[in-house]
Amino acid sequence: MSDEHTARAADGDGAPLSSAVVPAIGTVLAAVTLVAFLIPLRRGVDEFALWIGITGALVTTGAFLARRHGLLERNIAGPIAAGSSLLVVVVSGYAITQGILGSVVVPGLEWSVSLLFVAFFVGAGTIGIGVADAAGLSGRGLLDRLTLSVEMLVLAFVGLIGMSFAYLFLELPVMLIAGEPTAFQGTVIEYLSVGVGLGAVAVGYLAFRGRDLSFIDLERPTLRTVGWIVGGIVLILAANVGLSWLMSLVGIDGSDHTTTQQVADNPDLLLVIIPAMVLLVGPFEELLYRNIIQKSLYERFSRTGAVVVASVVFTCVHISAYATAGSGELLASLSLLFVLALILGTIYERTDNLLVPALVHGCYNAAIFLTML
């Protein structure tokens, strides 16, 4: 079966958009990453990471061009392009954490743009294009998946808005009765708003899509469930410790969560924060990000692809929470968060039970704050 026929079969729509569109898009994106590395190099930023990035971008470009001209099959060109693009993401991310931004000023706008950030994000997108090409997707199939991904990203940010509205709703009676909430009262309201806001958005989206509460995967715990919960907590804590140690070893610093800074100023808040992580944050974040968003992505993506995309969405909505330091520290913390999100997504994918990632997530967060006592 030809690549195009495979793509049409995968899409199930017989769309006229040829699968050649996908490697063409990949070629353009790879060329962008190549330019993003070359410009700082030509301007005197002679760093070894840039040379590695250029090599990765050249390999990616070559793989997509060979694919377009029939010199390589998609099952060879796609993985090569995805792997070399991953190298681009890793080296550009490392360069950013070391303060190498490759910033340029956009003519006429006076905006400063980091070309290394461009290489990082475009390279991340190119990984997806390489995977899509290896899977034999047509342009239509790629567009459908991109559309669903954007919808899930919008839903995630609606969740943030929902929490803000819930906070105002819950704060109002406190202000009417007792005046301005204290720091302790404000923290209680904040975490109650997580449950109310995310829960309302999740239920609202289900209603919008014509689904009922049976879409929520919540089952009674069994011995297998307990085993997944215990194993998941051990795994995610070990991953945090191991990755943090590795980042420290190579000189990468992360940024603090805004809540961590609040606790440093007022340790008594831990009396609210620790139980709230288990009872509210873990369950309701997993309800929206895993049970609603990740499960919805199963409609168009493979389960592995859905885990990755849902983890990207989860990481994106936490940008403001970690924006407490420079861009390098922010990127380092978000990269760690992305890996932890992959673990939670995989746990949900393997169990199809919201209870498991909810407790793993909540207990992990609680354990992190317990170390601050």
Integer Cα distance of 171 and 185 in angstroms: 9
Integer Cα distance of 353 and 212 in angstroms: 17
Supply the mean pLDDT for the chain.
Answer: 91
pLDDT tens for residues 293-315? 999 999 999 999 999 999 999 99
What is the share, in percent, of the chain residues with pLDDT greater than 90?
A: 76
pTM for the structure as a whole: 0.90
pLDDT tens for residues 50-80? 999 999 999 999 999 999 898 999 999 999 9
Confidence of residue 19 (pLDDT cuts 50, 70, 90): low
Which DSSP string do the residues of 273-303 spell out, in sequence order? HHHHIIIIIHHHHHIIIIIIIIHHHTTTS-H
CA atoms 302, 308, 314, 319: torsion sign: negative
Phi/psi at 20 (5° precision): -65, -20
DSSP code for 16 = S
pLDDT tens for residues 137-147? 988 999 999 99
pLDDT tens for residues 307-352? 999 999 999 999 988 888 788 899 999 999 999 999 999 999 999 9
Give how far the C-alpha of residue 131 lies from the chain's centroid of Cα atoms, to the nearest Å: 17
What local confidence, expressed as pLDDT, does residue 17 receive?
43
What is the share, in percent, of the chain residues with pLDDT greater than 70?
A: 94
Statement: residue 14 has pLDDT above 80: no
What local confidence, expressed as pLDDT, does residue 82 receive?
97
